[in-house]
């Protein structure tokens, strides 16, 4: 009987060993698939950022809960301008888009504001451009400034 048990045990061990060997390539393949999917998602996000910036006069990459984002959006409201706003926290791909936008402008925070494809910057940059009159010039509008509105 001992002989009978040793054969199935060896066979079982061989099967386990073979299955482990077979899983290694599939794990590597799964890792390669995940890397390819991540690269494709990053490329799609970079394309989205590029197309969004080029398709709209004013673009703000924002998060709905962010007070700095609200401040940047308030500047455009004061100027009676309607920006195209990408609320990153309300998108499944928001973190990937934020990373792609960050790679483009070398800033990974929000808000990030663009006018006619030109990167203006974040909240402080946008307010500074408003107060200096640069924002009105970029938008091609006349403005009567009242700093208390911000």
Beta strands in 72-117 (DSSP E): 84-87, 112-115
Q: How far is CA 67 from CA 4, 11, 36, 51, in A?
A: 74, 65, 36, 26
Q: Pick the residue with more confidence: 108 or 15? A: 108
User: The pTM is what?
Assistant: 0.76
Four-CA torsion 66, 72, 78, 83, nearest 10 degrees: -100
> In Å, how far from its chain's centre is CA 37?
15
82's CB contacts (< 8 A; 6+ apart) are 58, 76
Q: Which residue has the higher pLDDT, 147 or 23?
A: 147
User: pLDDT, tens digit, for every residue of 116-139?
Assistant: 999 999 999 999 999 999 999 999
pLDDT at residue number 32: 82
45-149: what fold? Glutaredoxin (3.40.30)
Query: pLDDT at position 147, please?
Result: 58
Structural domain spans, the chain: 45-149
Residue 62's pLDDT band, with cuts at 50, 70 and 90, is very high
Report pLDDT digits (tens) over 87-101: 999 999 999 999 999
Q: Is the pLDDT of residue 3 over 70?
A: no
């Amino acid at each position: 009987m001992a002989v009978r048990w040793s054969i199935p045990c060896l066979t079982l061990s061989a099967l386990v060993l073979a299955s482990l060997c077979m899983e290694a390539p599939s794990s590597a393949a799964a890792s390669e698939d995940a890397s390819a999917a991540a690269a494709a998602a990053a490329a799609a996000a970079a394309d989205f950022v590029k197309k969004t910036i080029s398709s709209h006069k004013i673009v703000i990459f924002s998060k709905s809960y962010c007070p700095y984002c609200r401040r940047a959006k308030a500047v455009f409201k004061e100027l009676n301008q309607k920006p195209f706003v990408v609320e990153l926290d309300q998108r499944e791909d928001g973190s990937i888009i934020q990373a792609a936008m960050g790679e483009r402008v070398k800033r990974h925070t929000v808000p990030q504001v663009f006018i006619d494809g030109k990167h203006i910057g974040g909240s402080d940059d946008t307010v500074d451009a408003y107060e200096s009159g640069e924002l009105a010039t970029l938008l091609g509008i006349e403005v009567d400034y009242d700093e208390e509105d911000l």
